[in-house]
Chain A
């Protein structure tokens, strides 16, 4: 029996992630205590909302430390939407008020708003194409597929080796990442129909044996030479 923990830190509609797991035949608990992560086999960090509020919530509740410990156990972690953005080093959202916000730092790079110079609608809402690189997350899916997005901030570091999905909205941005046991999507698999359910199913079938120790070592090492996470 897989123990799936969905982190409930007060950000957004997380029930639909839980319902999607249930639809796939699993039991998933919404967890409010960082200690619950130690007992989970799969952890999902969902979220819709503002980066500054979210990271403050995670720090205040102690989920930031618990997530780092969880990642170092080698068990799979999935970030969705804001969850993915929180995995990066930092974000400019709300920077006029609070300065640049630091994220969890699993991936190097800055999360920024879609530049207004792109002349596209912001927020980016709707179905868009994800062009993928081979990943366990996309097993048995075609090389490109449509997924459902709702966001105004994005990761434009398309050169990242960990980028496994790119999407075009005015320019290319990173729509999925994978490094070792840490995986994330900017789109919402729980709202992306059968394709999205397949992605969740792929994630839920992963075990620590699916990841090499070497891949995990790269987590947290930024371009500027940050220390490894584990």
Chain B
């Protein structure tokens, strides 16, 4: 049976991990490649490298990070943040990324999803959706790192993204993000019930039960977390043992 995945996310700026990680075992806690290796050893099923650069120089540093990660880490990894052209996707996949995550550009130009999926295959196109609850039972899509509202309904957008060839949905609730009170189960459930592609829950994990709730109540296929793992509030192995104890399939050997 396919396992539920645990995906640590590294926020990267100018080639360095932001929210510095306190891993005693790392020689250089700010080096994304060392952090990626650490998570690989710790049992991560996949990694997300999120580029939060705005500058052109930062972008080329990111390419170096992707290439070096592919030389050292042999689990699948995705790259996201500011991707706006087919050429960029091609470059990232060639350097060794397995998937790319697209967000604002897809909202502004939905054909970008269709074209990316046609060129590179749905399996490597993740559509990231950042959303906020605007009224009971309804969530609105935001872009540009969650700063700009779009008026788009998150559920409708997820269904459209699937129809256009997205291989996965990375769903971040901005209400829940950084609060540590659990994933937003409402929108996670709505979207996972409506689409057939995997949904990655993101934003809000603070304790073990948040991960099992994302699966059992939210219907998520994978759970992404950043701060929680960076500050070692929880270890990936603890999360996996917890899920396993509830009969949720997870990869235990690594």
- Where the two chains meet, the residues of A that have a C-beta atom closer than 8 Å to any C-beta of B are 13, 15-16, 19-20, 22-23, 48-49, 121, 123-129, 142, 145-146, 148, 150, 168-169, 190-197
Contacts and interface: CB of A to CB of B under 8 A. Distances in A.
Most buried by A among B72, B123, B252: B123
Given A125-B198, A126-B3, A127-B45, A23 B74 contact: yes
A127 B94 contact: no
18 contacts: A13-B96, A16-B70, A23-B71, A121-B197, A123-B122, A123-B167, A125-B2, A125-B167, A126-B3, A127-B2, A128-B3, A146-B251, A146-B253, A148-B75, A168-B1, A190-B74, A192-B75, A195-B253
Given A49-B121, A128-B2, A169-B1, 10 more contacts: A15-B96, A16-B74, A23-B74, A48-B121, A121-B198, A125-B167, A127-B5, A194-B74, A194-B254, A195-B254
B2 A23 contact: no
B71 A193 contact: no
A23 B73 CA distance: 9
Contacts of B143: none
A169 B2 contact: yes
Contacts of B95: 15
Interface of B: 1-3, 5, 40, 45, 70-72, 74-76, 93-96, 98, 121-123, 167-168, 196-198, 221, 251-254
Nearest to A150: B123
Nearest to B2: A126
A192 B74 contact: yes
Contacts, number: 81
Contacts of B198: 121, 125-126
Contact of B254 (A19, A20, A121, A193): A193
10 shortest interchain CB distances as A-B pairs: A146-B251, A127-B251, A127-B3, A126-B2, A193-B75, A150-B123, A191-B76, A19-B71, A128-B2, A16-B96
Q: Which of B2, B71, B74, B95 has the most CB of A within 10 A?
A: B74
Nearest to A13: B93
Given A123-B122, A123-B123, A20 B74 contact: yes
